[in-house]
Amino acid sequence: MLVLNRIAAGISLLLAICGPASAQQSPATLEIIELWRLSGHADAASASFTHWEGEAEVPANCATCHSGEGFRSSYGIDGSAKGEVSHPIVPGGVIDCATCHEPGVSEIASVRFPSGLEIDPPAGSATCMTCHQGRQSGINVASAIQEVPDHEVNPELGFINPHYAVAAATLYGSEVKGGYEYPGRTYSGRFAHVPTFSTCIDCHDPHSTQVQVGTCTGCHQVADLTAIRTSAADFDGDGNVTSGIHAEIAALHAKLHDAISHYAANVAGTPITYADRFPYYFVGNAELTPANRYASWTPALLRAAYNYQFIAKDHGAYAHNPHYALQLLHDSIADLAQASGLNIELGERP
């Protein structure tokens, strides 16, 4: 019932956008509604929207990204104060049509990232960039570890989770510092790609959220996006320079996993296990429960574990900013391998 109400709300918004002449919905418009209805943005049953079920409200620091109503409030588009969610958001909302189409949304001139750095969003992408930027930054990680020697276990340290689907932070790379960047190293900024395929909605349909694969194949003659490759160097040290760039990133990601395990056991002194469930890093072979979360962090382990999760939580990193991803992985592996005496084959750093 709730979902039906939302679709009705979508249609009435559409009337507001297009005027009463479109009371007879055109097939194109019905198709848009259908694309959106089948997308994650409309999936009221997903953990992204049910997380607050039974609670009175979605906390203000979550609501901006977990409901259209919260998004509008945080930008002051609903007439409330700008810069915060200023009224209680009742759980159950999704990313509705008005999230992106309410008058005022197209005037958002600046998007602030968790690092505090700001970006002028390209037309139509301020919405995506606000919600898909994560909740942490490499700068936050650096400030959490600054007082502690690199390889000293400190009980005050805890894992810092970048949050999920952090595409915009990857895309803008060093311009917004979503990843932990090692001192003395240089990192790629925004992935320029080609001018016609450089923004979120150049590659993703804004309603289905799917990548418009047919538009890629004009330049990349591949059957599968993960096979795309234009970079010439061998980044993962396996001698293969024809596999997709996706495979180079995946191989280095797996090597970082190994480097984290080796370092934890040999330098931090407590074995570690990663699992794709909160809180992600667990003690050795213990049961995967929050009570068994890993607690023997050194600064070096924490920053590498952050970068590992940053790449893990952007399934499109290979297309959002392949070289930034490779740089973060290279530097994280090298840092841990050196400290723990692990011999890992690393290819060229981009």
- Residues binding ligand HEC: number (CB under 6 A): 76
Stretch of 35-43, 144-152, 174-182, 266-274 lying at the interface with ligand HEC (CB under 6 A): 35-43
Among 343, 269, 335, CA closest to 304? 335
Q: Is 295 in the site for ligand HEC (CB under 6 A)?
A: no
Instruction: Report if residue 194 touches ligand HEC, rule: CB under 6 A.
Output: yes
Q: Which is nearer to ligand HEC, 138 or 316 (CB)?
A: 316
CB 176 within 8 A of CB 137: yes
For the record, the structure tokens of 146 come out as 């600054």
Which residue's CB is nearer to ligand HEC, number 224 or number 287?
224
Phi, psi of 27 (to 5 degrees): -55, -35
Closest separation in Å from C-beta 343 to ligand HEC: 27
Euclidean distance between CA atoms 9 and 62, whole angstroms: 23
Residue reference for tokens 């607050």: 52
Of 40 and 83, nearer to ligand HEC (C-beta) is 40
Provide the terminal-to-terminal Cα distance of the chain, rounded to the nearest Å: 52
Q: Which stretch binds ligand HEC (CB under 6 A): 27-35, 288-296, 328-336, 339-347?
A: 27-35
Binding track, positions 163-192, relative to ligand HEC; x by CB under 6 A: xxx-xx--x--------------------x
Binders in 117-136 for ligand HEC, by CB under 6 A: 124-125, 127-133, 135
Q: How far apart are CA 331 and CA 307, in angstroms?
A: 10
Q: Does 87 bind ligand HEC (CB under 6 A)?
A: no
Cβ of residue 116: shortest distance to ligand HEC, in angstroms? 14
- Interface with ligand HEC in residues 206-225 (CB under 6 A): 206-207, 209, 211-212, 215-216, 218-220, 225
The label of the residue with tokens 């990204």 reads: 65
* Residue 280 found at the interface with ligand HEC (CB under 6 A): no
Whole-angstrom Cα distance, residue 178 to residue 138?
5
- Which residues fall within 8 angstroms of residue 350, CB to CB, at 6 or more apart? 188, 231, 233, 235, 322, 323, 326, 327
Applying the rule CB under 6 A, the residues between 296 and 335 that interact with ligand HEC are 315-316, 318-320, 322
**CA 21 to CA 14: how far, in whole Å?**
11
> Which of 36-44, 85-93, 177-185, 300-308 is the region at the interface with ligand HEC (rule: CB under 6 A)?
36-44
Q: Among residues 326, 255, 268, which one has the least CA distance to residue 299?
A: 268
**What's the min distance (Å) between Cβ of 277 and ligand HEC?**
8
Is there a cis peptide before residue 279, judged by omega within 30 degrees of 0?
A: yes
Instruction: Give, as ranges, the residues between 240 and 279 that touch ligand HEC (CB under 6 A).
Output: 245
